[in-house]
Amino acid sequence: MEIRYPLATGTWDEAEEQAVRDVLASKQFTMGELVTKYEKTFADKFNVKYAVMSNSGSSANLLAVAALCYSGRLQPGDEVIVPSVSWSTTYFPLSQYGLSLRFVDIDIETLNMAISALKSAFTEKTKAVFAVNLLGNPCDFDPILKFCDEHNLILIEDNCESMGAEYRGQKIGAIGLIGTFSSFYSHHICTMEGGVTVTNDEELYHYMLCIRAHGWTRQLPKNSELYKKSENVFYESYNFIMPGYNLRPLNMEAAIGLEQLKKLDNFVMIRRKNAEYFCSIFKNDKRFIIQKEIGKSSWFGFSFILHGELAGNRDEIVALLQKKGIETRPIVAGNFTKQKALRFMNYSISGQLINADNLHDNGFFVGNNSIPIKEQIDYLAEVLNV
């Protein structure tokens, strides 16, 4: 079957291909100077002090949670408020570090955490909020920051789907104490696989440098307060001070990322123009609820929640789109409390998840791309008889 409207398209050109050839010629394939350069460029781009590249956005989340726990900011049994709609690896690191997840409902229009649900979810065990910017759309951060300030809570930000989006002139992903990004193939920039965790907190930065690479001291700066490094390079090459992982990226991914970052602003501009056209067609169609933009979304994709006469008919609609060569997916993982993996996790649910259930049963999304897709959107409208 011919794919006429794909979920994602490639954005590499000769610049990325040459970057790969340069790495191959250098024979320096594992994490090295290019990764350091990419991290510095990324931090400058998003106006933060520190950025740590890893091998995926999922690993970026794992690094964030591990650093918060090893540094003592979070303790086993602490409660973290999370939206009921997100990707699996928003949640899994929290569970893996003995934290309790407290799920709240979403806003059916923005698809992000509902502010009213957030406010009613607080308990004496609550220590953090994990805000997720879904499908490119910033959360409404003013009330979230106020809530966190009132209750002395840590704000963690999962921005893996929303690189380049803005809230009140600030690049999101860097609003909380620690935030995460992804550069998987279908995301705003593509390094094949890749993730970045950012923070302005030097201690958390040092924890992440250590945790990312086996828990060893090799990447720690000499002035780190985590551990006083000796002058014995031989000893420090295999010196482990905490349980860690191998989450290291490749030089090749960093080289590609350096080229992709140069193009990010243009990619986001094109995605926003695509979104303007998409919204002009579908915003007044009473059969669908489409995502309401907060701030400046970077429009990862275009969501639909079937409404009115189409509610309950998602299987038929998705089958039609697939038949016509239009790729679709669930809106992230739907209501995650319906996933069987939850039986292995410590969690509670605050209130009813009415909107998340509606999204779970009636939602799907189609792709946005970093190239103009007016023709594809017109075709989608034709198939849906708009």
pLDDT tens digits, one per residue of 213-225: 999 999 999 999 9
Nearest to 330, CA basis, from 52, 115, 134, 109: 134
> How many CB atoms neighbour CB 150 within 10 A?
10
The type of residue at 374 is K
What residue has token string 């620690």? Answer: 178
- pLDDT tens digits along 98-121: 999 999 999 999 999 999 999 999
Band of the pLDDT at 20, cuts 50, 70, 90? very high
Distance CA 59, CA 325 (A): 33
- pLDDT tens digits along 289-326: 999 999 999 999 999 999 999 999 999 999 999 999 99
Nearest to 190, CA basis, from 5, 369, 380, 385: 369
Please tell me the predicted confidence (pLDDT) of residue 71.
98
What is the span of the domain harbouring residue 300? 1-386
Given a contact cutoff of 8 angstroms between Cβ atoms, the answer to whether 153 and 171 are in contact is no
Band of the pLDDT at 226, cuts 50, 70, 90? very high
Tally of structural domains, the chain = 1
Nearest to 300, CA basis, from 144, 145, 190: 190
For residues 140-154, give the mean pLDDT. Answer: 98
For residues 191-207, give the mean pLDDT. Answer: 98
- CA angle 291/299/59 to nearest 5° reads 110
Please tell me the predicted confidence (pLDDT) of residue 8.
94
Distance CA 107, CA 130 (A): 16
Q: Where does the chain have alpha helices with state H?
A: 14-26, 33-45, 57-70, 88-96, 115-120, 141-151, 202-212, 233-236, 251-282, 314-323, 354-362, 374-383
Distance CA 201, CA 184 (A): 26
For residue 99, give the DSSP letter: P
For residues 64-90, give the mean pLDDT. Answer: 98
Task: List the CATH number of the domain containing 323.
Answer: 3.40.640.10
Q: Which of 151, 187, 188, 214 is catalytic?
A: 187
- pLDDT tens digits along 227-245: 999 999 999 999 999 999 9
Q: Tokens representing 46?
A: 């998003």
Mean of pLDDT over the chain:
97
Please tell me the predicted confidence (pLDDT) of residue 142.
98
Please tell me the predicted confidence (pLDDT) of residue 1.
73
Nearest to 89, CA basis, from 339, 257, 269, 264: 339
Please tell me the predicted confidence (pLDDT) of residue 37.
98
Distance CA 159, CA 173 (A): 5
Q: Are strands 166-167 and 154-158 parallel, antiparallel or unpaired?
A: unpaired
Distance CA 61, CA 195 (A): 9
- Asked if residue 134 has pLDDT above 70, the reply is yes
Given a contact cutoff of 8 angstroms between Cβ atoms, the answer to whether 367 and 5 are in contact is yes
- Asked if residue 27 has pLDDT above 80, the reply is yes
- Asked if residue 386 has pLDDT above 80, the reply is no
Residue 363 main-chain phi, psi, to 5 deg: -100, 150
Please tell me the predicted confidence (pLDDT) of residue 371.
96
Given a contact cutoff of 8 angstroms between Cβ atoms, the answer to whether 312 and 362 are in contact is yes
Residues with Cβ < 8 Å from 221, sequence gap 6 or more? Answer: 206
- pLDDT tens digits along 327-348: 999 999 999 999 999 999 999 9
Residue 143 main-chain phi, psi, to 5 deg: -70, -30
* Catalytic residue status for 360: no
**Which residues, in sequence order, are bridge partners of residue 301?**
367
- CA angle 281/286/292 to nearest 5° reads 65
Q: At what angle do helices 202-212 and 57-70 cross, to 10 degrees?
A: 120
- CA angle 234/240/244 to nearest 5° reads 135
